[in-house]
Chain A
Amino acid sequence: MMEIRTPKTHKAKRVLEKRAPKLVENGKKTLILHGTKTSATVSSVLMELYRLKKGGAIKYSRRNENIRPFESGGETSLEFFSLKTDCSIFVYGSHTKKRPDNLVLGRMYDHHVYDLIEVGIENFKSLLSFSYDKKIAPHEGSKPFICFTGEGFENVPELKQLKEVLTDLFRGEVVENLNLTGLDRAYICTAVSPTKVFLTHCAIKLKKSGTIVPRIELVEVGPSMDLVIRRNRLPNEGLRKEAMKSSKDKPKKKVKNVDQDDVLGKLGRVYIPEQEVGKIPLPDKSKGVKRERREGKVKKNKEEGSASKKLKESE
């Protein structure tokens, strides 16, 4: 026995519609979690990440002991949280002896784990330790510039994945119209070595230059850390293809009945249906429709018109 449940309030209906799969999607929300044990650096990293992504992130403050992203059974809790909070990126921080200051960045597709990448944090500098002029402090929720430097991001597959994940994480909403005065932050990621990435967050100072384009100056404001790649899990091919599908990709339509010939050029085939002689519609030979009659009528009208003119002129 099944029953149909529909939301009883407009607000609930709007929430459900917002979470439904759409052609053009909303910005991805981030879920920030603690693991069984977290060190001071990890907790502050998670807190600062939450602050950077204030509008689009949800931070859980309790420990989660049954979440192990890289194990097969340890993802159920993550998927449940993702479903409940409608988040498709998660950041899971933990600290063990084997993996100190560990951060797992992961993405979800349809609320199932899509890919994971595990990084270790080194040389973490909190945003409180940077001193700068408060006027240039970036506003909450502003769209950031994201910059990647280094050949590693192109050659090393793990760094490639990290580049994609960081873009997804920092991107926020995809907007059509941008207010140029609201550009005040930039994330700089540099591949220092094939396994290490230096990440920092800077505020933008726009200085006058001779042209419309202002001169950009970056001032480090936010947290800066070194990310050391540990483990990763790439998405499986089928899932990746499905996730990358967008509505605008039309499958290449095979043009039928057209051939290319070297000698003759482009050849086409034309199919003529069988003629059913008995069923061909006969031409309309009724008197009024004949061309001579029609043309004769037109001429007559013209003459009459000119005749009436003559009459008028004579009068």
Chain B
Amino acid sequence: MDTEMDQIYQIDVGNLLAFNPNHRFSSAPSSREELVKECVTEGTKLVQAIADTLFNFPSTESVDGPLVQLPPPTTKLPREKHLPRPKPPTKWEEFALKKGIQKRKKDKIVYDETTDKFKRRHGYDRVNDDNDIPIIEAKASDEPGEDPFAKRLDDKKKRVDKQQKNRLQNLKSAAKAGALPSHVQLAASALPITGTKAQPKKLGKEELGDVAGLAATSTASGGKFDKKLPGEKPPKKQGKHHKYLPVVPRYGWVDEEKEQTNKVLGKLLSKHSHEILNVGKAINMYNDKKEKKKSGRSDKLKPKKDITKKKPYANKANK
């Protein structure tokens, strides 16, 4: 290394960082290339200095190459997030501390006295399962109409709800101290309407689309020329759905219209046509129509044609 200037580099091996605070450009660099060259040579010296210390570390051989253990970095850089904050003790933890209750490790397999077997504590076929109790003996304090099994279920439900509430309270106090566990998020759910328990029904995606379509039909052109928002689907076809067959059959293709009429005729004129045609119904329909024609129409309701009035267009045509 040069001994002209006191070349002490500040090296941080943990970051592979080197800083040379003593370099001064001897003269104003003449050209860009000169400047670049000088910078690169200085850089080379610095990298060499780091490599000197790095390659002298004890190395272990691995599949990819020599591995070296780096010391922790010495330059202090700011953290990206705050230090994890201590969690405030939960209600139970406070109580346990006060009473001096120690945590006891529970076994996964427990001896069940009723069946003289070892069963697991939680899960399928567990010890003391609520559903397995066949008989509950009546006590003097029981009311006659009460179902003890239902009561047990009810009690359990109440206990579970209470525990949920306690858990929520604990998490709230942890959130207040800024120490909410990373996998939990507290979110405000919908506010209940006072008086009713039913929550407002949320509209699904399709239903919202239909509502937009309904609003569109109130426009003069039936919503056909409305500007669509990005992502809005085109409206479902309103009104009658006609399917028209082509007038002129395509070359090489079957004439569909002909086919259609032939099909109907075939059915009518076939051997089993009496089975297809409901003769009774057809006769009834014909009779009904006849009767309606006879009775319903009264000429008094129809506007009378005035033969004396001349059509304006007829006059114009004569001229």
Inter-chain contacts of A19 with B (CB < 8 A) = 182
CA–CA, A198 and B39, complex, Å = 8
Distance to closest chain A CB from B252 (angstroms): 51
A263 within 8 A of B: no
Structural contact, B15 and A146, CB atoms closer than 8 A? yes
CA–CA, A12 and B64, complex, Å = 32
Structural contact, A167 and B79, CB atoms closer than 8 A? no
Helix, strand, loop or mixed for chain A's interface?
A: mixed
**A247: nearest chain-B partner, CB-CB:** B83
Structural contact, B19 and A148, CB atoms closer than 8 A? yes
Interface residues on chain B, size class? 35 or more
A149 within 8 A of B: yes
Inter-chain contacts of B44 with A (CB < 8 A) = 216-218
CA–CA, A167 and B168, complex, Å = 43
Residue in A111, A123, A177, A224 whose CB lies within 8 Å of B67:
A177
**B-contacting residues, A163-187, CB 8 Å:** 163-164, 167-168, 171, 174-183, 186
**B-contacting residues, A158-217, CB 8 Å:** 163-164, 167-168, 171, 174-183, 186, 188, 190, 192, 198, 200, 202, 204, 212-217
CA–CA, A212 and B77, complex, Å = 32
A270 within 8 A of B: no
Distance to closest chain B CB from A238 (angstroms): 13
Structural contact, A186 and B43, CB atoms closer than 8 A? yes
Distance to closest chain B CB from A18 (angstroms): 9
Structural contact, B39 and A190, CB atoms closer than 8 A? yes
**A2: nearest chain-B partner, CB-CB:** B186
**B-contacting residues, A12-40, CB 8 Å:** 13, 16-17, 19-23, 25, 28
Distance to closest chain B CB from A141 (angstroms): 14
B36 within 8 A of A: yes
Distance to closest chain B CB from A144 (angstroms): 7
A5 within 8 A of B: yes
**A-contacting residues, B146-184, CB 8 Å:** 167-168, 171-172, 182-184
- Of B46-54, B225-233, B265-273, B298-306, the stretch lying at the interface with chain A is B46-54
CA–CA, A88 and B82, complex, Å = 12
- Of B92-100, B126-134, B187-195, B215-223, the stretch lying at the interface with chain A is B187-195
Distance to closest chain A CB from B81 (angstroms): 4
Structural contact, A1 and B192, CB atoms closer than 8 A? yes
Structural contact, B80 and A108, CB atoms closer than 8 A? yes
- Determine which residue in B18, B21, B52, B75 has the highest number of CB atoms from chain A within 10 A of its CB, and name it: B21
**A-contacting residues, B202-216, CB 8 Å:** none
**A243: nearest chain-B partner, CB-CB:** B78
**B24: nearest chain-A partner, CB-CB:** A151
- Determine which residue in A21, A109, A177 has the highest number of CB atoms from chain B within 10 A of its CB, and name it: A21
CA–CA, A3 and B167, complex, Å = 11
Structural contact, B64 and A179, CB atoms closer than 8 A? yes
B68 within 8 A of A: yes
**B16: nearest chain-A partner, CB-CB:** A145
Structural contact, A4 and B39, CB atoms closer than 8 A? no
B185 within 8 A of A: yes
A143 within 8 A of B: yes
Distance to closest chain B CB from A52 (angstroms): 15
- Of B55-63, B234-242, B243-251, B287-295, the stretch lying at the interface with chain A is B55-63
**B186: nearest chain-A partner, CB-CB:** A2
**A206: nearest chain-B partner, CB-CB:** B51
Given contacts A109-B78, A218-B40, A244-B78, contact A13 B183 (CB under 8 A): yes
Given contacts A178-B70, A235-B78, contact A4 B168 (CB under 8 A): yes
What 3 A-B pairs have minimum CB-CB distances, sorted nearest first?
A: A20-B182, A188-B43, A181-B65
Q: A residues near B, CB below 8 A?
A: 1-7, 13, 16-17, 19-23, 25, 28, 88, 107-111, 114, 123, 143-151, 153-154, 163-164, 167-168, 171, 174-183, 186, 188, 190, 192, 198, 200, 202, 204, 212-218, 220, 224, 235, 240, 242-247
Give me 21 A-to-B residue pairs in the complex whose CB atoms sit less than 8 angstroms apart, sorted by A's number. Answer: A17-B182, A19-B182, A25-B81, A145-B46, A146-B16, A147-B43, A147-B46, A148-B20, A150-B21, A171-B15, A171-B17, A174-B72, A178-B69, A179-B64, A183-B51, A190-B39, A192-B35, A200-B36, A212-B55, A216-B47, A242-B82
